[in-house]
Structure 1
Amino acid sequence: MKWSEISVHTTNEAIEPVSNILHESGASGVVIEDPADLEKYTSRFGELYDLDPANYPEEGVIVKAYLPQNSFLNETVEEIKGSISSLVNYGIDIGANAVTITEIQEEDWATAWKKYYKPVKISEKVTIAPTWEDYKAVSTDELIIEMDPGMAFGTGTHPTTVLSIQALERFVQKDDVILDVGAGSGILSVASVLLGASTVYAYDLDDVAVQSTKNNAALNGAEHKVKVEQNNLLEGVTQKADVIVANILAEIIVKFPEDAFSLLKPGGYFITSGIIEGKKELVRNSLEKTGFEIVEVNKMEDWILFIARRPEQE
C-alpha cells in the first residue's frame, strides 16, 4: 500500500489544534518536528536521546501525518487545509501554514516516524517512554509512563503537558480524586494514578480521545482507576474532586471555571494549561472572578500554566 505524508509547517502554538485536525481526518498518529525538543530537557530533568538536528526545521514546527492513498485523498487534503486556515478565527497563529504532500512506501512509513520518539524525563519523578523502547527506571522513585504515539494526540513532551505533569507531581496526594477535562491521550490521567490518585474521571468530547485515554490507561495498568466518559467539559458532572486538571486552549478554559469551582472540594486545586502568553490575563481574570486564589503561574517557552485554589472558607 502507498501512503501520503501530510506535512504542515506551522507554529508551536498551533501544534495541538493542527494535530487534532489531522486525527479527525483519519490519521492514526502524528509526528511533531519541534527544534525546541533538541534542548528542552537537558538542564534539569535529563535529556532526549539520539535525536538528529537534521530532522528539524530551523524555525517554527512541522506536524506530519500519514494517510492511505485513495480516491478521496485530494478532497481530504483540501479539507485539512481549510480547517487549519480557519484556526486564525480563534486567534491562533498558524505561521507559514505550508502544507505539502509526499508519497511514501508502507515499509518506510511503518518505522520512519519512530526516530522522533525517545524516552524523556520531564519532572523529578516522571519519565515518558514510547512502547517500543526497552527503558528501565534508574531510581526507585522514578515513574514510567508508556505511550504509543500511533494512537495518541501527543507523546507528553509538549510544554503544556510537561507543565501539567510537573504540577500534578507536586499537588496530587495519595487517594485524591481527579477530574481530567479534555483528556486527549489520557497522559495526565495516567500520571495522576501513578502519583497516587485513587480515581481519575477523564472527560473528552472527541470519541478518538476517549478511546486513546482508555488504551493508554490499559497500557500503563491504570484502567481500573481511570473512568473515561465522552462529555463536553464538565457539563452535567456531579463528581467532587480534590484536583481538576485541564490542558486545553485558553478560550475553552474560560468557559467552565464556575463548574470547576463548584466541583472542587474546599482547598482543592484547579490546574490549567494550554494557555499562550497573550491569553494569560484572560484566564487569570476568569479564575479570580470565579473566586479562585491564584497559587502559581508557571511558564515554559511561550506557554502558561495556572495553579488555582478554591479557598477553604468562602
Structure 2
Amino acid sequence: MNWIEIQIITASAGVDALCAMLTDLGIKGFSIADPADFQEFLQNKEGKWDYIDQDLLGMAQGDTTVTVYLPDNAQGAEQLVALRAMLAQIHARDDAQLFGTLELTLKNVREEDWANNWKQYFKPFTVGERLLIKPSWEMCENPWNRAVLEIDPASSFGTG
C-alpha cells in the first residue's frame, strides 16, 4: 500500500489541540517536531553530552510540524478532504495565531520505502578465519568453506 505523508506547519501552542482534533478525524498516529521542545532539551539536558549531531541542531531552527500518514486510497482521500476542511475552520477562527499557518505539505511514500529498505545495509561478513555471518535474504558465495551463521537483524539482538 502507498501512503500520503502530510506535514502540517503549526505553532507550539496549538500542537496538543491539533493532535486531539486529528484523533477526532480518525487519524491515530502523528509525529511532532517542535523546536521549542528541542531548545528545552538543550537548556535542561542531563548527563554528559559531548556531541550533538548537526542535523539535530538544525531542529532548533525549523517550523513546528505535525506529520501524519494517510493511506493512498479512497478512505485516505476522504480523510484528506476532512482534514483540509478542519484546518480551514481552525485557521478562520484563530485570531490569536495559536495554531500558526496550518500550511500543508504532501508527499507520496511507497510502502517498500520503509518496509524493506533497511535490509540493504546488512551484508554478509567474515569473522575470524572460519565464520561467515549473513542475513537470510542475502545470497553469497563461500569459496573458503567457512561455517555460515544465517541470522537476521531485527529482534535477534534486542533492539539491534
TM-score range, shorter chain: 0.5 to 0.7
Alignment-mate amino acid for residue 104 of structure 2: V
Gap regions ≥5 residues in structure 2: 117-157
Which deviates more from structure 2 when the two are superposed, residues 89-98 or residues 7-16? 89-98
Gap regions ≥5 residues in structure 1: 112-132, 135-314
Matched, 1:42 2:47: no
Q: Which residue of 2 aligns with 1:93?
A: 98
Is contact 1:2–1:105 with CA below 8 Å preserved after alignment? yes
The 2-side partners of 1:87 and 1:20 are apart by 13
The 1-side partners of 2:69 and 2:106 are apart by 10
User: Offset of 1:31 from its aligned partner?
Assistant: 0.8
| C-alpha distance 108-34 of structure 1, shift in aligned 2 (>3 A) | farther
User: Offset of 1:59 from its aligned partner?
Assistant: 4.5
Is contact 1:10–1:94 with CA below 8 Å preserved after alignment? yes
**Alignment counterpart, residue 85 of structure 2, candidates 82, 85, 106:** 82
Alignment-mate amino acid for residue 41 of structure 2: Y
Is contact 1:35–1:61 with CA below 8 Å preserved after alignment? yes
**Alignment counterpart, residue 74 of structure 2, candidates 68, 71, 74:** 71
CA displacement 1:167-208 (0-9 Å, x = unmatched)? xxxxxxxxxxxxxxxxxxxxxxxxxxxxxxxxxxxxxxxxxx
TM (norm. structure 1) is 0.30
The 1-side partners of 2:53 and 2:24 are apart by 31
| C-alpha distance 45-56 of structure 1, shift in aligned 2 (>3 A) | closer
User: Offset of 1:9 from its aligned partner?
Assistant: 0.8
The 1-side partners of 2:100 and 2:57 are apart by 21
Q: Which residue of 2 aligns with 1:128?
A: none
Count the aligned residue pairs: 113
User: Offset of 1:51 from its aligned partner?
Assistant: 8.0
Greater Cα radius of gyration, structure 1 or 2: 2
**Alignment counterpart, residue 109 of structure 2, candidates 94, 104, 109:** 104
User: Offset of 1:40 from its aligned partner?
Assistant: 1.3
The 1-side partners of 2:76 and 2:62 are apart by 28
The 2-side partners of 1:55 and 1:27 are apart by 28
CA displacement 1:11-64 (0-9 Å, x = unmatched)? 111111221222233333111111233331233342797683387484531110
The 2-side partners of 1:33 and 1:66 are apart by 15
| C-alpha distance 44-13 of structure 1, shift in aligned 2 (>3 A) | closer
Is contact 2:70–2:79 with CA below 8 Å preserved after alignment? no
The 1-side partners of 2:44 and 2:112 are apart by 38
CA displacement 1:67-100 (0-9 Å, x = unmatched)? 1111133332121122123235365522221112
The 1-side partners of 2:115 and 2:99 are apart by 28
Alignment-mate amino acid for residue 107 of structure 2: T
| C-alpha distance 92-16 of structure 1, shift in aligned 2 (>3 A) | farther
Structure with the bigger RCO (C-alpha within 8 Å, sep 6+) is: 2
**For residues 49-198 of structure 1, what are the structure 2 equivalents within 5 Å?**
52-53=55-56, 56=59, 58-88=61-91, 89=93, 93-109=98-114
Report sequence identity in percent: 25
Is contact 1:33–1:57 with CA below 8 Å preserved after alignment? no
Whichever structure has more strand as a proportion of its residues is: 1
TM (norm. structure 2) is 0.55
2:101 aligned counterpart, secondary structure:
coil
The 1-side partners of 2:79 and 2:29 are apart by 16
| C-alpha distance 37-66 of structure 1, shift in aligned 2 (>3 A) | same
The 2-side partners of 1:57 and 1:5 are apart by 22
